[in-house]
Chain A
Amino acid sequence: MGYNCVCRNSHMDHVGALPYFTEVCGYNGPIYMSYPTKALSPLMLEDYRRVMVDRRGEEELFTTTHIANCMKKVIAIDLKQTIQVDEDLQIRAYYAGHVLGAVMVYAKVGDAAIVYTGDYNMTTDRHLGAAKIDRLQLDLLISESTYATTIRGSKYPREREFLQAVHKCVAGGGKALIPSFALGRAQELCMLLDDYWERMNIKVPIYFSSGLTIQANMYYKMLISWTSQNVKEKHNTHNPFDFKNVKDFDRSLIHAPGPCVLFATPGMLCAGFSLEVFKHWAPSPLNLVALPGYSVAGTVGHKLMAGKPTTVDLYNGTKVDVRCKIHQVAFSPHTDAKGIMDLTKFLSPKNVVLVHGEKPSMMTLKEKITSELDIPCFVPANGETVSVASTTFVKAKASDMFLKSCSSPNFKFSNSSQLRVTDQRTADGVLVIEKSKKAKIVHQDEVSEVLHEKNHVVCLAYCCPVKAKGESDNDVDLIKQLSTKISEIMSGAQIHEAENSLQVGSFKGAVCLKEKCMHRTEIISCSEAVFLCCNWSVADLELGWEIINVMKLNL
């Protein structure tokens, strides 16, 4: 799908380069986004641009106009809406959790179908639902694997730990700093705290530092249909994003006395306001820094998580004493290893490709997918090509007879160790592909006709010794005798007798007078015994052998 772009979510690692791509590189194809992503992306991009250019003074990659122009080209799509991009390509979006508006993309080119998950979450959190997708026939599943080896326990204890850490801090008069991305985690943690504040009747203020988060909140309030069941139902009475205890932050409040909770961007304490507040608050042992999720190596956030440093170097060379408590929030909007396995198992694709993760853990997961689910799995490096077989369907015409036999069910029950049922309808069909002709399905009865061949029938034959020679050699008596024997043992068998032959169903037996019969296996010669030459069709396979056994007993 080289000429078509789908943005799966509004985080910077997914949408960050889009204006550059369209406006600077000159990409001209369609761009698809979910409605929330389309709403939130400009905010994110503008914020990114400002941080890059205005604060750090780096060279600007794209301008505000670029962003605006780029967004004009975006086509918004809804969940489960199927879009026929062109003749071959069809795409459809499925709910992915992760962040408001994140989607998984199903794409079908011809008969080959893939799902690209993007970032997704298999468990619900406070405000978002879990990923949801239909059971599709897939040739390939491309899954993210940020946490390819982690298995998380129940979310409730993790939430509780976080709440208790914050509560303990503010109860002791400290200030809690929660550096976070503007989208997703901030709202999640804030909802958690707001609920808890309500329940425990805590009056300590909660602040949002950046305007971005506040703007994002506005969109969150509108895009309720993309949230979880819980939020959707609650919002009839009270919109959960109307945080009751949240106030705007003012720079002067950094040094204000008394406890408070502050959400500040960016999340990894790499720059910006969160770092500035950290500088002021870190030296006090009363305070708390709650670091959500994952931090890139080299950032202050990473340093804090790695050990328990007493001092931290800031980027401009200043050092800060760290005496505050550090709490690592143990929840992430990415699915864990079990979630990836569960999704893979549910979709059962023919192949799996893992992306967006760290190589060693991806290899472990690959091993697991291959061994436990028996699905070929690939972990390609950047630029590496993986080829997998794809499905192609052959169109075939069906004969009238086959269609007719298909219209009504044709069940067959077999009962060996347990009752099994099969529907013979499709089993009756035979696919005929002839050179230079279109493929055709015919009913099995028609095959010989179509191929201009004769029908062959498999028969069994056996020349069976039935009586020692010597006594009264009357064929009629012998046949009578055999027939009573057979009817004695096999009740219900319909036996037709003739002068020197008998017939049960397709089983026919006649007295054999040949010296050497080709169906005879016994070495006894014709002079020693009377033989009955029998033949029967495959359909009566078991019946035939049963009768033979009966007759042998007579010997």
Chain B
Amino acid sequence: MEEGDSISAESLSLETLASIRSLIINADTSDSVISSVFDFLTGLLSRGDSAILHHALKLLSDLASRRKELAPHIFESVFSNLLRLQNVAAEANHKRGAVESLVVLASLSERNHGIATELSKIDGEVFASICLGAPISYRLWVLRNAERFNVPSSVLFTLYLGFTKDPYPYIREVALNGLTNICKAGDFNHAHAVEGCYTRAVELLGDAEDSVRSSAVRAVSVWGKVMIASKDEEMNRRECTDAVFLQLCSIVRDMSVDVRVEVFRAFGIIGTASEIIILQTLSKKVLGAGKGKKPQNHLSNVSADVAAAAGVFIHGFEDEFYEVREAAVDSFHSLSVNSIKFPDEAVYLLMDMLYDDYMVVRLKALEALHHIADLGNLKIQETYMPAFLDAIVDTSENIRFEARNILKLAKLPDLKLVNKCVDDVLKSLEMYPQDEPDTLSALFHFGQNHANFLTSLVKRFSEKLGVASGNKSEFNSLHISASLMLIISAPLSNKLSIASIPPMAFSYSLAMLGKFSCGLQDIMDQDMLLAYLTHCAFLSASSGTEFNKGDIFCHAYRHGDADLAGNAVLLPSKDTTNESKYMASEAELEIRNQALKFVNYILLKIKAAWLISQSGCSKEALQALRACKQELATLTPDSSISNGALQFMCQYIHVIELLAQVWSHLEYSRHISTCIAVELDMLMEEVEIKLMEIRCRFTGLAMEVSLVMELVIFCCLLRLYRFETCCRLSYIEKLTSTISQLELHHEQQCTNPSDFLTETKKSLQEIGGSANINLCRLLHLIKIFSCFSPEQFTLSGNLQCVSVELEVPGNGPYSPISFLPGLPVAIQCEITLLNVPRDTCLWLRISRSDETCQFVYVDPNLYNSDGREKRFMFSAVTYMTLRAVMFTLRVSIGIECMFEEDVCYRKRHPGPKHPVAYLCKEREVHLNLVSRT
């Protein structure tokens, strides 16, 4: 116990220190000894000897990790000693001691939650003076760990910027990395500081050390990006982008691999450049137009010539190192996202990359090609066909997947290529049977895209079918299913008469329904497919006689669509993650309502797309709308735009997309072939269901109500114009009630009704009065529908999306619910509701595989509490028990859409009186007969 005191400070040897350490480590040392050890060690701190200070700090940090309760005291004494050291003298020993204290303090506060905030006691001034005074070896540590301390970023910025001038390369590198991190954290947007930082980073692009150059490239890209964003005018911004881009180009031929990789990544970050520069990057020869053109580059003295960009991507693509090639392809992809017009040469260059030895490079190239194909710019030439076909039979699953994605969008110029392509797909299917669902889906799309060649394809495969039908064992083979899939996709493209397909093909397809619906699950579900196939089979057999309206097809579709209701429309694409990452990190720098600005921009695009579709270019319009969806997916909900608003936008674009598709069929004539009529009918149904859903699922709609209602009116008009002579009255009724409702809405909101609304109201009499519909008038109304006006989008923060999660806990194929036939059985459901308003009617739908169903009313008392999210258990009692050993039921939850304009149509049945919009996917519930034993 006396040990601590018995050591006189003078006789302190390493042995004594070692024995102190053993005392600390030993868990059995009594508290009193420990406390005297603590006193002794803190006493040592104040001594001037730096060698002892080093050991004392080490021992104190050991002590703190063994005895947590002492940590705050240790922190306190080390900290006060640090301040003392700062004030004493500028001796090198003391400076070292200061840094060592800093190390101990940082680790202490990170290990002990109790003193986590204490570290902020070290203010910017103390930190800066330690950092400036530290010997070189310690300086590196201080700079690298600066972010662990709560130093104001202005101090850090000054320090980092200063140390980019350090003679030691490692310090320059760390300083540059620090600057990059500060920029990413988004704390700095002072114009002078940004430009100064950028200029300094540009200077260091010429550093002799590889690692400094690669850090400099990173810094140039992030600070360049900020600098570009800070420019007010579009003109300035573009000039600035070009200047940064060319600056990066100038170092693309660096000898260091890391630098080259970073440069290509940086291109991706900058993301865009003038077309002339992009063109130049694809050619090593300096192009005529680019000669002598020097974008204004007042930021650095180096005159940046477009020639600097010569062949940048050619070099990147033929680089020795796959890391560079990968980065190059990736940034190429990013550039293609942002450039509206991307030259064909670019596509050829990418195609060459499909031969790369490295899987990752090939994959990136395919992803980029997929994107270009999505924009409709992909023309696969014969030269490149082998590369593409190789990808289809590649050993890597990812590559095959991407290649099939491109296949879905590809357009091949002649029959020879189409045949070759189909052959290779069949070969791939043989080699990798596990890909079957996706391959089938790809063939389905491929078939639709190549309607011209389908006649011959049908001929080719019909023979095969004929052979196969005689031989039962072969009937199920992969080849047959694939060729059937190709054939049955035909009727969906309007250029092929259904009559040329043997009815046999459809009936065979029915036998493979499960397989097919599995492949096509992103387009349609099993019921719809079934309906489609039976319908086609019927049509094909009767070779084109008029079909009977109201057949099973539409019913099936109605059911089927409810399943899809909960599905998100959007799939996140590659560049979205990339983009949003940067957006998030630099969010502070952007103007606060940047997101809203972006949404407005998308709205403009939608409007443009609508106009395009009206002018007859429906394909382009659909592409534009699809691009809008993708762009929307890049947005992340934040303070300026809520998640609900984003979801609303998504759904809205989806409706417009459907309407554009309807329009493409409508534009030619009123009298169209039956198979198009079917498709049109399906589309209209979908639009109506979607609209109903939007109206039920979103709460807090402000001006958007008028938006949706106008769409409902528009749909009614379309219906009246195109189809429903039989159901005319009900549509007119709906039209009238919707119009009056919308007028009421405008009155309440004190807003002006749109021209479309007033015109429609005026002609209401004309349309509905006479027995014969005034088609001209209708068409006129349809044509003046202007989609929307921007003020109809308020996208307020209140806008929320209703969603539901349904689980049947503890149920599964191996743990079914027991039942007795004929007796009711209870299904225990766990329901989670999000944003469900108080006065809604929720229904639990329980259905059997034979489409009989039962609705169970969900007691509102269960969920009418306050709060956004509600979770409760609900027992649904069903009487639908069968005389079977086991069977499955499907349950889902829907919301009853009680709109004034709808006429109750289900008066006699128990259950909802109004249509139901389904809020979640169907869950399967497994039931099992109680065993008698």
Contacts and interface: CB of A to CB of B under 8 A. Distances in A.
B768 to A, nearest CB: 67
Interface string A150-170: 011111110010000000000
Contacts of A422: 165
Interface string B183-210: 0000000011101110110000001101
Interface size band for B:
35 or more
Interface in B298-325: 299, 310-311, 314-315, 317-322
Interface in B783-804: none
A228 B383 CA distance: 27
B255 interface: yes
Given A408-B133, A421-B196, A156 B255 contact: no
B320 A415 contact: no
A419 B165 CA distance: 14
A129 B320 contact: yes
A338 B284 contact: yes
A266 to B, nearest CB: 29
A152 B311 CA distance: 10
Contact of B283 (A124, A153, A407): A153
A420 B318 contact: no
A521 interface: no
A135 interface: yes
Nearest to A130: B320
A229 B319 CA distance: 10
A157 B352 contact: yes
Contact of B284 (A153, A234, A421): A153
B158 interface: yes
B838 interface: no
Interface in B248-266: 253-255
B352 A229 contact: no
Given A154-B314, A230-B357, A124 B320 contact: yes
A257 to B, nearest CB: 29
A420 B196 CA distance: 6
Nearest to B160: A421
B284 A123 contact: no
A423 B321 contact: no
Contact of B193 (A137, A199, A409, A419): A419
Nearest to A411: B162
B390 A199 contact: yes
A456 B243 CA distance: 46
A409 B163 contact: yes
Contacts of B317: 154, 156
B252 to A, nearest CB: 9
A336 B311 CA distance: 13
Given A413-B158, A423-B166, A133 B255 contact: yes
B102 interface: no
Contacts of A155: 318
B349 interface: yes
Given A153-B283, A419-B161, A408 B352 contact: no
Given A153-B314, A409-B132, A134 B352 contact: no
A392 interface: no
B162 A151 contact: no
Contacts of A417: 192, 195
Contacts of B158: 411, 413
B286 to A, nearest CB: 9
Interface string B121-132: 000000000001
A152 B320 CA distance: 17
B165 A229 contact: no
Contact of A418 (B192, B255, B314, B315): B192
A418 B196 contact: yes
A156 B352 contact: yes
Max count, chain A CB within 10 A of own CB: residue among B163, B207, B284: B284
B355 interface: yes
B164 interface: yes
Contacts of A130: 319-320
Contacts of A151: 284-285
Contact of B165 (A135, A346, A421): A421
Nearest to A129: B320
Contacts of A200: 386
A346 B254 contact: yes
B284 A152 contact: yes
A280 interface: no
Interface in A62-93: none
A130 B357 CA distance: 17
A499 to B, nearest CB: 41
Nearest to A336: B284
Interface in A180-211: 199-200
A429 to B, nearest CB: 13
B870 to A, nearest CB: 54
Contacts of B163: 409
B320 A229 contact: yes
A221 interface: no
A419 B166 contact: no
A229 B162 CA distance: 38
Interface in A112-171: 122-124, 129-135, 137, 151-157, 160
A411 B191 CA distance: 21
26 contacts: A124-B318, A130-B319, A132-B255, A134-B208, A134-B255, A135-B208, A151-B284, A153-B285, A154-B314, A154-B317, A154-B318, A155-B318, A156-B318, A229-B320, A345-B253, A407-B92, A408-B133, A411-B158, A417-B192, A418-B299, A419-B192, A419-B196, A420-B200, A421-B161, A421-B200, A423-B166
Given A134-B255, A155-B318, 8 more contacts: A132-B255, A135-B207, A153-B314, A200-B386, A345-B253, A409-B132, A409-B165, A419-B196
Top 5 A-B residue pairs of the complex, sorted by shortest distance between their CB atoms: A419-B196, A124-B320, A411-B162, A156-B352, A418-B195
Interface of B: 92, 132-133, 158, 161-166, 191-193, 195-197, 199-200, 207-208, 210, 253-255, 283-285, 299, 310-311, 314-315, 317-322, 348-349, 352, 355, 357, 383, 386, 390
